Amino acid sequence: MTRMPRWADVALIPLLNLVIAFAISGLVILAIGENPWAALKIMVTGALGSSYGWGYTLYYTTSFIFTGLAVAIASHAGLFNIGGEGQATLGGLGVALICLSLPWPHWSLALLAASLGAAAFGAAWAAIPAWLQAKRGSHIVITTIMFNFIALSLLNYLLGNVMRPARSMDPASARFPEGATLPTLNDMAAGLGFVWGKNTPANISLFIALLCCLAVWALIWKTRLGFQIRAFGKSEPAAVYAGINPVRITMYAMLISGGLAGLMAVNNVMGEAERLVLNAVEGAGFIGIAVALMGRNHPFGVLLAALLFGFLYQGGGELALWTTIPRELITVIQALVILFTGALDNMVRAPVERLFARRGAR
């Protein structure tokens, strides 16, 4: 069969998938008696119309870049890491333990240590499913799902019984010390002499996320390990035949993946909440799946998709504020994006391929 041109594969098909997903989302809005056009306008003004909206949009984007990259790198190794939620939860635990352990003198030291802690805890939580997959052949999808629930119970126990300060009622850790407060984008803009995004949580970890995009890109396409990961993901028997150690690649890919998911906690736990609360991840681990699918597992694609989902999240919040449309509309849109860009991809791909084949034959 004639191959499709590259632009069609990289841009046209994802775009078509997305258009279908959003068209159906529009129909859903219509079906619950609201105007999709008006809804879209509220979302755009709410999320992108002011520096306040952008401040939130970029805050969500930061989280989704981390979890999206986590899913993407595992996908390159042919592994479906559905455990970003649990790994990010554990990352939060790492951040909290480090932030609370010392009276940090300066945020930069705290950020460095907390990033390492977050990545280490996230990676450790991914290590067990990875080892079980590599050594015992236990299906990683099932084990990472189980580990999401185990992480939730673990955190529930720790926050309720161990980390909760005396005389406090809600299951949350103590507030982090002053020195562990990360500069927000608002602070940084103020340092440069202008006002931007007052009272928004977007913070310096956005830049860590962007660096991670770059690092993942370099890792996958510019290093020997990245080549091995891709080879392993394309065909395990071929990779093994070429002398690539499957246990090693599975472990590396999942440790990096878990570490990236864990790093998300620097944004939401250290940058925003400044204490560890239950359910701090709020589904960002799962959104990583949609983000990676839409971004075709490429770091730049992940960045764009994370921005789109950041917009959807902030816009969805605004919708819930100004209309009767509940926030859960975003969950529906997310589901449709996953369905059409992931599971039903062939539905769009096959006709487009046929179209190109016919043009090529002529």
Partner 1 sequence: MDLATILQILDSTVRLGTPLLLACLAGLFSERAGIFDIGLEGKMLMAAFFSGAVAAITGSVLLGLTAGVLSSLLLSAIHGAASITFRGNQLISGVAINFLASGLTVLIGQKWFQLGGRTPPLSGDGRFAPITLPFAETLREVPVIGPIYYELISGHSILVYVAFAAVPLSWWLLYRTRFGLRLRAVGENPAAVDTAGISVVRMRYAAVMICGLLTGLAGAYLATALSAGFVKEMTAGRGYIALAALIFAKWRPVPALGATMLFGLLEAIANRYQNIDLGGVVLPVQFMQALPYILTVVILAGFIGKATPPRAGGEAYVKER
Give the interface with partner 1 as residue ranges (CB under 8 A): 28, 32-33, 80, 82, 128, 132, 136-139, 141-143, 145-147, 149-150, 153-154, 156-157, 160-161, 286, 289, 293, 324-326, 328-336, 338-339, 342-347, 350
Closest CB to partner 1 among residues 150, 307 = 150
Exposed/middle/buried for residue 168 (C-beta within 10 Å: 0-12, 13-18, 19+):
exposed
3-state secondary structure of 221: helix
Least distance in Å: CB of 327 to partner 1? 8
Least distance in Å: CB of 294 to partner 1? 12
Q: Token pair of 214, please? A: 């770059």
Instruction: Please state, in angstroms and rounded to a whole number, the distance separating the CA atoms of residues 147 and 126.
Output: 8
Longest dimension (CA), the chain: 78
3-state secondary structure of 203: strand
Q: Do 93 and 101 form a contact (C-beta atoms < 8 A)?
A: no
Least distance in Å: CB of 67 to partner 1? 13
Give the residues across from 203 on adjacent strands: 184
Closest CB to partner 1 among residues 139, 175 = 139
Least distance in Å: CB of 265 to partner 1? 20
To the nearest 5 percent, what fractions of the chain are helix, strand and coil?
75, 0, 25
Least distance in Å: CB of 208 to partner 1? 27
Least distance in Å: CB of 153 to partner 1? 4
Instruction: Please state, in angstroms and rounded to a whole number, the distance separating the CA atoms of residues 119 and 90.
Output: 9
Closest CB to partner 1 among residues 136, 167 = 136
Closest CB to partner 1 among residues 303, 336 = 336
Instruction: Please state, in angstroms and rounded to a whole number, the distance separating the CA atoms of residues 19 and 294.
Output: 12
Q: What are phi and psi of 295, to 5 degrees?
A: -85, 10
Closest CB to partner 1 among residues 161, 199 = 161
Closest CB to partner 1 among residues 132, 266 = 132
3-state secondary structure of 285: helix
